Amino acid sequence: CSASANTPVLTLFTKEPCPLCDEAKEVLEPYKRRFILQEVDITRPENSAWYDKYKYDIPVFHLNGKFLMKHRVDIRKFEDQLMKLELQN
């Protein structure tokens, strides 16, 4: 199935606990069939570069490897970028 190869990947930079991350995931719930959610725990040793970059900003979202938004989900921006990716495929 080549559809999954073209499915956009939304990366969530997070740590435990993260109430804002939980809130963001709830907001994104209706869209979950349209993207793959990849969570990166910035407190893990192998993610120290992300920790240094985002420790005061989580949740941070990247869409297909590009910075998209931080702190809160901007639904309009998210929908817009997701639609662009879907149209490219």
Mean pLDDT by 10 residues, the chain (89 residues): 75 97 97 97 98 97 98 97 93
CATH number of the domain that residue 80 is part of = 3.40.30.10
- Does residue 2 belong to any structural domain of this protein? no
Query: Which pLDDT score, from 0 to 100, does residue 3 have?
Result: 53
Specify the number of domains making up the chain: 1
Q: Which domain holds residue 66?
A: 10-88
Exposed e or buried b per residue across 30-50, where buried means at least 16 C-beta atoms within 10 angstroms of its C-beta: eeeeebeeeebebeeeebeeb
Residue of 85, 30, 44 lying closest to 62 (CA atoms): 85
- Does residue 57 belong to any structural domain of this protein? yes
The answer to whether 89 and 7 have CB atoms below 8 angstroms apart is no
Query: Which pLDDT score, from 0 to 100, does residue 89 have?
Result: 82
If phi > 0 it is left, if psi is from -120 to 50 it is alpha, else beta; for residue 22 that is alpha
- Does residue 73 belong to any structural domain of this protein? yes
Model confidence, pTM = 0.91
Query: Which pLDDT score, from 0 to 100, does residue 1 have?
Result: 44
Specify which residues 14 forms β-bridges with: 41
Separation CA 66–CA 85 (nearest Å): 12
- Does residue 1 belong to any structural domain of this protein? no
